[in-house]
Structure 1
Amino acid sequence: MDLKLSGKRALVTGSSSGLGEAMALLLAAEGAEVVVHGRNETRAKSVTAAIIEAGGKAGYAIGDLATDAGADAVAGAALEGGPIDVLVNNAGSYEHLSWADTSPEDWRETYEVNVISGVRMIQRLVPPMRERGWGRVITIGGGLAIQPMNTHPQYNATLAARHNLAVSLARELKDTGVTSNVVAPGAILVEAVKNLLTQIAPERGWGESWEDIERASTEQLVPNDTGRLGRPEEIASAVAFLASPLAGYISGATLRVDGGTVRSAQ
């Protein structure tokens, strides 16, 4: 299926590894020119090189989006090659903290990294989209935005904020040709998740093989209707579709890619 992304330029924040890397690779494979973003230049260059080696077009931008200066640097580098048509706000982080362990400073830092960073990029890159009459803003959220756990409350709250701002932005962009949507992943098998589950498997009696660990962790931690964890490529596919001209009638929506973890008819 041709997603008609040839000739489009996309910036994927936090794309030097993990989910963001998968998004960048797929968007490039679909014909978009991709700007890979990260704070580590070596890793960003590596993803960029992989795209180019596969026949795609890519560049990279380095900067900390939790600061105005970093956001300016990333936006400036991204725009050097031309206008940005697709902004994927993926960058973010979290720590496994309890309510008792989470300080107001933890909340502030998490909000800065996970929410205000995206706002910075929206403010720098969306006005030109509006002027051109076409654009896509895709925010990576998550099921914890609407079904929060008791742990890492500071992270749960920032996901809810990401969902909320994406819908508010869609209302703001009414009749402009620019859409704003959310992709909400469930538990996805990135390296950090696999390492964590493998580490805690012995104390929980989940077995020794990865197949047993994945099955048990899915049943006990993140029950869903598929009986497995998601793969980064599955999130990337959802992002690529929403980035496409084919998704022009979708705005203000949340596309859950979570195997049915969130139990809701909405």
Structure 2
Amino acid sequence: MDLQLKGKRALVTGASSGLGKAIALMLAAEGAEVVVHGRNEHRATEVAGQIREAGGIAAIATGDLATDEGADAVAEAALANGKIDILVNNAGVVSHKNWSDAGADDWLEIYNANVVSYVRMIRRIVPQMKELGWGRVIHIGGGLAIQPIKEQPHYNATLAARHNLSASLARQLKETGITSNVVSPGAIINPMVEQWLIDAAPKFGWGTDLEEIKYRAVQDLIPNDTGRFGYPEEVAGAVLYLTSPLANYISGAIIRVDGGTIKNV
């Protein structure tokens, strides 16, 4: 299936590892020119190198999106070789503090890193999309925005803010040819999550085999219709569809990729 992305330029924030990397690689495989953003130049360069080795086109843009100066640098690098058609706002941080541990400064810090950073890139990239008369803005949200847990309340709240701002942006961009949508992942497996599961297994009695640990963790912590964790590529697939001209009629939406963890209709 041709997603009609050849000739499009995409900026993926937080693309030097994890979900962002998976999105960047898949966009490039579909023919888009990808600007790989990261705070670590070496890791961003490695991802761009993988894209080029596979025959794709890639550039890098480094900077800390939690600052205006960093966002300026990233936008300048991204736009240096042409307009950006697709912005994937993915960069952010996670904090596992609870209500007792997370003070006001923690709330402010994570809100800046996870929400205001998205706003910074919207303000720097979307205006030139209006000149193009077409564009895609994809925000990575999460199921905890819809069904928050008692832990990490400040992090949960930033996901809800991402969902809200994306819908507001869609209203603002009415009839411009630019859409704004959220992809909301469930529990996604990666090396860091696997290590946490291994460390937590004795406490929960999940056994010692990694596959058994993952299965039992799903049953105890995130029961869903697939009975497993998701993979970054499965989330990236939903992002790619929303970036495509085939999704012209989707805006202001939240696409859940969570195996049916959230049960509302």
TM-score, length of structure 1 as denominator length: 0.99
Distance 1:192 1:12 in 2: 21
Distance 1:168 1:193 in 2: 32
Partner of 2:148: 148
CA drift of 1:195 comes to: 1.3
Answering whether residue 38 of structure 2 is matched by residue 38 of structure 1, we say: yes
Q: Contact 1:145/1:156 (CA < 8 Å) preserved in 2?
A: yes
1:7-34 CA distance string (max 9 Å, x none) = 0000000010000000000000011000
Partner of 2:188: 188
Written as runs of structure 1 = structure 2, the 5 A alignment for 1:47-62 is 47-62=47-62
Distance 2:145 2:243 in 1: 22
Please report the RMSD computed on the Cα atoms of aligned residues, expressed in angstroms: 0.6
Partner of 1:215: 215
CA drift of 1:153 comes to: 0.3
Distance 2:195 2:2 in 1: 36
Partner of 1:130: 130
Distance 1:190 1:241 in 2: 23
Partner of 2:71: 71
Distance 2:4 2:204 in 1: 47
Partner of 1:93: 93
1:216-247 CA distance string (max 9 Å, x none) = 01001111110000000000000000000100
Secondary structure of the residue that 1:180 maps to in structure 2?
strand
User: 5+ residue gaps in structure 2?
Assistant: none
1:101-158 CA distance string (max 9 Å, x none) = 0010000000000000000000000011112110000000001001000000000000
Distance 1:227 1:218 in 2: 6
CA drift of 1:190 comes to: 1.5
Counterpart residue identity of residue 50, structure 2: A
Partner of 2:239: 239
Partner of 1:9: 9
Counterpart residue identity of residue 70, structure 2: G
Partner of 1:224: 224
TM-score, length of structure 2 as denominator length: 0.99
Secondary structure of the residue that 1:121 maps to in structure 2?
helix
Counterpart residue identity of residue 134, structure 1: W
| Count of residues paired in the alignment | 265
CA drift of 1:71 comes to: 0.1
Secondary structure of the residue that 2:78 maps to in structure 1?
helix
Partner of 1:261: 261
Secondary structure of the residue that 2:10 maps to in structure 1?
strand
Distance 1:64 1:256 in 2: 28
Secondary structure of the residue that 1:138 maps to in structure 2?
strand
CA drift of 1:199 comes to: 1.2
1:81-113 CA distance string (max 9 Å, x none) = 110000000001111111000010000000000
Partner of 1:110: 110
1:17-56 CA distance string (max 9 Å, x none) = 0000000000000110000011011100000000100111
Q: Contact 1:19/1:190 (CA < 8 Å) preserved in 2?
A: no
